[in-house]
A and B are shown apart, each in its own frame.
Chain A
Amino acid sequence: MSVLILAEHDGQHIRQSTRSSINAAQARNEPVHLLLCSDHADTLAHEAQHIKGVDLVLHASAKHFAHPLAEDIASLIMKLGNDYTAILAAHTPFTRNILPRAAALLDVGMISDVIEIISPNTYVRSIYAGNILVTVKSSDTLQMFTIRTSAFKPAENQERAAPVQSVSAPDPFKRTRFIDEVHHVSDRPDLSSAKIIVSGGRPLGDQFEALLTPLAKKMNAAIGATRAAVDAGFAPNEWQVGSTGCIVAPQLYIAIGISGAVQHLAGMKDSQVIVAINHDPDAPIFKVADYGLVADLFEVLPELTDALN
Chain B
Amino acid sequence: MKALVAVKRALDYNIVPRIRSDGTDVDIAGAKMSISPLDEIALEEALRLKEQNKVDEILVVSVGPAITQDVLRHGLAMGASRALLLEAESLLDQLGIAKLLHALVEREKPDLILLGKQSIDDEACQVGQMLAGLMNASQGTFASKLQLVNDEIIVTRETEAGTETLALMLPAVITADLRLNEPRFVKLPNLMMAKKKPIEIIPANELVTHLEPRIKRTQISPPATRPPGILVKDVADLVTTLNKSGALHS
Contacts and interface: CB of A to CB of B under 8 A. Distances in A.
A242 to B, nearest CB: 9
Contacts of B11: 128
A244 B177 CA distance: 8
A175 B177 contact: no
Contacts of B141: 70, 97
Contacts of B235: 293, 295, 300, 303-304, 307
A251 B248 CA distance: 8
B84 interface: no
A112 B126 contact: yes
Interface in A114-155: 122, 126-140
A113 B123 CA distance: 9
Interface in B95-135: 95, 98, 117-118, 120-134
A307 B239 contact: yes
B201 interface: no
A230 interface: yes
A187 interface: no
A104 interface: yes
B191 interface: no
B159 A181 contact: yes
Interface in A229-266: 230-231, 236-238, 243-244, 251-252, 262
B223 A131 contact: yes
B163 A104 contact: no
Given A100-B126, A128-B121, A289-B229, A238 B162 contact: yes
B232 interface: yes
A132 B17 contact: yes
B132 A101 contact: yes
B139 A93 contact: no
A105 B93 CA distance: 16
A291 B228 CA distance: 9
Interface string A103-114: 111011111110
A102 interface: yes
Nearest to B134: A104
Interface residues of B, number: 78
B134 to A, nearest CB: 5
B142 A93 contact: yes
Interface in B127-184: 127-134, 137-139, 141-142, 144, 152, 154, 158-169, 172, 177-179
Contact of A122 (B138, B218, B231): B218
Contacts of A167: none
Contacts of B172: 175
B130 A101 contact: yes
A178 to B, nearest CB: 6
B19 to A, nearest CB: 6
B248 A252 contact: yes
Interface stretch (B42-50, B51-59, B63-71, B209-217): B209-217
A305 to B, nearest CB: 10
Contact of A133 (B138, B220, B230, B241): B220
Of B117, B129, B162, which is in contact with the most chain A CB atoms at under 10 Å from its CB?
Answer: B129
Interface of A: 10, 67, 69-71, 74, 91-94, 96-105, 107-113, 122, 126-140, 173, 175-184, 192, 195-196, 219-220, 227, 230-231, 236-238, 243-244, 251-252, 262, 269, 272-275, 286, 288-295, 300, 303-304, 307-308
21 contacts: A10-B161, A93-B142, A100-B130, A100-B133, A127-B123, A128-B17, A132-B17, A133-B223, A135-B218, A136-B215, A136-B218, A177-B166, A192-B160, A196-B250, A227-B178, A237-B162, A244-B178, A288-B229, A290-B245, A291-B229, A293-B231
